[in-house]
A and B are shown apart, each in its own frame.
Chain A
């Protein structure tokens, strides 16, 4: 437990020193605020740079605050996921490859502490970045549009955050399993796409699939209701995350470090 904390501190120091702790939140903030800004200023932008024939009448219905928030989330769902995967894919595989892992694991450190400290650091960075991104989106929606219900926002924020956490857990898991970080990214993105695709088809059988979180979050924010299967999905996703974390250390240990 104590070792895990020391390793966690080292991870956080590393994230500070390689500036990940700075650029990742900035990227999320940028995504968070561009969506409300473009939605609000789109008519003006088209007018000034659109090069349209004289007399064209542009009428774009102003989206509702909820719609803007959802399109912010859908930004996170493409670019955000990509950044998470690319940002964390080398966390364990990279250290194994460079030989840094040897320097740690040759000391009496449990493999679980090693992997969990990395997951925890990634978890903190993810929620800080995503939280700041959502917050900046929420702020501009309040300034430029008519605002959003706070509980719906928080609910949506947490539900979608769980989906990102699930992806993060997968990256860390695959990073511990394979030898090259590219492969870890490939597996994570592959499974994410597969999961989204299949659950899109079989909405009934896979109503508890983690990827449904992205669909349920629409209902939470747009209609301010709690979908029937959302609680089950949240529980299942959490269990899946825990299970993945539980099997990661023994699997990592089974493979020779060098």
Chain B
């Protein structure tokens, strides 16, 4: 079942199109990463989904019958700004109440969430004294307060140090079991760790989407690395003749190239090595990281 359906969404600022003809669905229970470089339109897209800015064109529809999309969504902006004069607990209870919870439920929910995000000990301190990581966790807690069907997080980890980042990613893994998540990031490694689906946004256009594994498969070409005990330049001509070797690169004593069929071509390489008595010290097949994959997709 789809939690959210977006069709031909468009946002125009003056004459500049920030998001063009964007369509996608979010399936229930899945964690989706919205990927793209800075300025790709990630924040604009998320803000439209959260109902903070109105799209110039297109529609956003939800599975529920609810009129106000904000009821279904928990949202954490890229730079959350809290009321610094409130304590963490006060802010959470307040957020719950304006989301429609009664005072009592909001207080109970607040305690639960403070425990979940690990803010129990700082709950009575003013938010002005919180560290960046604590604020981020408080931000996630306020997004979850009304048990939204869809959790939208805008760059939840980009501003954090490695420890804070790991904490938040662990938290997301936990939350994944309870709710649908959509989060944007430009750090592809983070996306790889928690999400199942990806949306690639570039220049306001959706250039690739689908389950992470499928997307990887679609763009992945197997690559072989050969390490020699001498300069690899010498062996380059032999391989260049073969029509099943592509994008050959020689770097020091390493030769790196793409092949079309891993099994078959690996066997061919082995036979070449044994026939010609090459001094190969190491042979490895390498998988593309999401980073390389992303560069690949953008080029297309």
Chain A residues with CB under 8 Å of chain B are 3, 6-7, 10, 13-14, 17-18, 98-100, 102-109, 256-258
Residues of B within 8 A of A100 (CB): 81-83
- Interface residue? B71 (CB, 8 A): yes
CB <8 Å contact, A14 and B85: yes
Nearest B residue to A104 via CB reads B98
What's the Cα separation between A247 and B166 when bound, in Å? 47
Contact B82 A256 (CB under 8 A): no
Interface size on B, residues (CB 8 A): 27
With A99-B77, A100-B82, A103-B142: A256-B95 Cβ-Cβ less than 8 Å: no
Q: B44-88 vs A: 1/0 string, CB under 8 Å?
A: 000100111110000000000000101101010101111101100
A107 contacts B53, C-beta separation under 8 Å:
no
A103 to B94, CA, bound (A): 11
Asked whether, in the complex, the Cβ of B81 is within 8 Å of the Cβ of A102, the reply is yes
Closest 7 CB pairs of A and B: A99-B81, A256-B53, A17-B85, A108-B70, A107-B99, A106-B75, A108-B71
Q: Which residues in B have some Cβ–Cβ distance to A below 8 Å?
A: 47, 50-54, 68, 70-71, 73, 75, 77, 79-83, 85-86, 94-95, 97-100, 142, 146
B146 and A107 form a contact (CB under 8 A): yes
Contacts of A14 in B (CB 8 A): 83, 85
Looking across the interface, which residue of chain B has its beta carbon closest to that of A3? B98
In angstroms, how far is the closest chain A Cβ from the Cβ of B28? Answer: 21
Question: Is A106's CB under 8 angstroms from B70's CB?
Answer: yes
Contact across chains for B142 and A105 when beta carbons are under 8 A apart: no
Known: A103-B81, A106-B70, A108-B98. 11 other contacts (CB 8 A): A6-B94, A13-B86, A14-B85, A100-B83, A103-B95, A108-B68, A109-B70, A109-B98, A256-B53, A257-B52, A258-B53
Q: Which chain B residues border A99 with CB–CB below 8 Å?
A: 77, 79-81
- Does the CB pair A256–B52 fall under 8 Å? yes
Picked from B77, B81, B95, the residue with its CB within 8 Å of the CB of A107 is B95
A108 surroundings in chain B (CB, below 8 A): 68, 70-71, 98-100
A258 touches B47 (CB 8 A): yes
Q: Which of B81, B99, B142 has the most CB of A within 10 A?
A: B81
Selected contact of A106 from candidates B51, B79, B94, CB within 8 Å: B51
Give the distance to chain A from B89, nearest Cβ to Cβ, in Å. 13
A177–B54 alpha-carbon span in the complex (Å):
17
A225–B251 alpha-carbon span in the complex (Å): 99
Task: Give bound CA distance, A7 to B100, whole Å.
Answer: 12
Give the docked Cα–Cα distance between A14 and B85 (Å).
Answer: 7
Residue among A7, A102, A104, A108 with max Cβ neighbours from chain B (10 Å): A108
Contacts of A102 in B (CB 8 A): 52, 77, 81
The answer to whether B70 touches A103, judged by C-beta atoms less than 8 angstroms apart, is: no
**Complex CA–CA separation, A105 to B81 (angstroms):** 13
B98: which of A17, A107, A256, A257 is its contact (CB, 8 Å)?
A107
Task: Point out the residues of chain B lying under 8 angstroms from A104, CB to CB.
Answer: 98
- What's the nearest-Cβ distance from chain B to residue A109, in Å? 5
Q: In the assembled complex, which residues on chain B have CB atoms less than 8 Å from the CB atom of A256?
A: 52-54
Complex CA–CA separation, A102 to B142 (angstroms): 12
Which residues does chain B contribute within 8 Å of A106, judged by CB atoms? 50-52, 70, 73, 75, 77
Cα(A100)–Cα(B82), bound, Å: 6
A222 to B79, CA, bound (A): 57
Which residues of B have CB within 8 Å of A18?
85
Residues of A within 8 A of B142 (CB): 103
Residues of A within 8 A of B51 (CB): 106
A98 neighbours in B (Cβ, 8 Å) = 81
Asked if residues B146 and A105 are in contact (CB atoms below 8 Å), the reply is no
Contact B82 A103 (CB under 8 A): yes
- Contact pick for A6, options B71, B77, B85, B98, CB 8 Å: B98
Q: Are B52 and A105 in contact (CB under 8 A)?
A: yes
Nearest chain A residue, comparing its CB with the CB of B97 = A6
With a cutoff of 8 Å between Cβ atoms, the chain A residues found around residue B146 in the complex are 107
